Amino acid sequence: MAITSNDTSITGLNIKHENAPVVGVLALQGDFREHIEMLNILGVVSCEIRLPSALCDLDALIIPGGESTTIARLVLQYGFLEPLRDFCASGRPVWGTCAGAILLARDVDELDRPGIQAMDIQIQRNAFGRQLQSFQSQVAIDGISDGEFPAVFIRAPAIIDVDASVEILATLPDGKIVAARQRNLLATVFHPELTTDVRLHNLFLSMID
Ligand code: GLN
């Protein structure tokens, strides 16, 4: 049975059990609980991260969807910016979903504060229109077998340009890039944690050494 801990009141908690990887989910705002739930389903040790000091215990980090301007504000307010940049530079896997992908991007339109800016992608916020234009679409993703993925786009951004070192994993028919990977960094502009499909979480977990 998986051992999980969502308790960040115990800062620096030593929650490594028999070398099982520990995956943190940044829990400042957004749908971090849904990611934790997915990790629980997969039997992965997980932890909600609310303080920069808790990052050191992790083998991988997920930055959830939500509202990127709010998350960016809280990242600054709680002193997360440099620790998150260091985490990305450490080589440990980091996955940004939707607003999380916005936070990871080197270049974003209309983000009023700096994000982490670790991944060489250019992102356009709200690229599909307003909340009412949210949609679900079956998307073929490189590295995901057994058929297309049910991708949920909620006031989603799009990746509109990437550096040559970025691997494009999924593109919509109109050319918008919706999933990409660069070294240890994974970005998806949709929400796998809102589905019952664990394949993208498994892909991310496979990036842990
Ligand atoms: N539109 C949001 C933003 O720009 C992202 C939406 C989401 O994470 N589902 O932050």
Q: Considering the domain boundaries, does residue 190 fall inside one?
A: yes
Q: Which atom of ligand 1 is nearest to the CA of 70?
A: 10
pLDDT the model gives residue 162? 98
20 Cα to the center of ligand 1, angstroms: 32
Which residue among the candidates 47, 98, 110, 148 is catalytic per the annotation?
Answer: 98
Where in the sequence is the domain holding 131, given as residue range(s)?
22-205
Torsion of CA 183, 189, 194, 198, to 10 degrees: -30
Active site residue 191: yes
In this structure, are residues 64 and 193 in contact, taking their beta carbons and an 8 Å threshold? yes
Q: Which atom of ligand 1 is nearest to the CA of 65?
A: 8
For ligand 1, which residues put their CB under 6 angstroms from it? 65-68, 98-99, 102, 125-126, 154-157
Q: Which of 102, 134, 135, 191 to mutate to test the pocket of ligand 1 (most atoms within 8 A of CB)?
A: 102
Among 25, 36, 101, which Cα is nearest to 68's? 101
Q: Considering the domain boundaries, does residue 9 fall inside one?
A: no
Domain count, the chain: 1
pLDDT the model gives residue 69? 97
pLDDT tens digits in sequence order for the chain, 209 residues long = 333 444 443 333 344 556 799 999 999 999 999 999 999 999 999 999 999 999 999 999 999 999 999 999 999 999 999 999 999 999 999 999 999 999 999 999 989 999 999 999 999 999 998 888 899 999 999 999 999 999 999 999 999 999 999 999 999 999 999 999 999 999 999 999 999 999 999 999 999 98
* Exposed / middle / buried, residue 198 (Cβ in 10 Å: 0-12, 13-18, 19+): middle
Q: Considering the domain boundaries, does residue 144 fall inside one?
A: yes
Q: Which atom of ligand 1 is nearest to the CA of 67?
A: 10
Q: Considering the domain boundaries, does residue 71 fall inside one?
A: yes
User: Which token pair is 124?
Assistant: 């356009």
Q: Which atom of ligand 1 is nearest to the CA of 125?
A: 4
CA nearest ligand 1 atom 9, residue: 154
What CA–CA distances, in Å, run from 204 to 59, 127, 180?
12, 25, 12
Q: Considering the domain boundaries, does residue 1 fall inside one?
A: no
User: Which token pair is 33?
Assistant: 């609980």
100 Cα to the center of ligand 1, angstroms: 8
19 Cα to the center of ligand 1, angstroms: 34
CA-CA distance, 29 to 138, in Å (whole number)?
A: 27
DSSP string, 77-99: HTT-HHHHHHHHHTT--EEEETH
Q: Considering the domain boundaries, does residue 164 fall inside one?
A: yes
Among 134, 135, 133, 143, which Cα is nearest to 180's? 143
As beta bridge partners, residue 180 has 168, 187
- CATH code: domain of residue 101: 3.40.50.880
189 Cα to the center of ligand 1, angstroms: 9
Strand, coil or helix: 190: coil
Q: Considering the domain boundaries, does residue 156 fall inside one?
A: yes
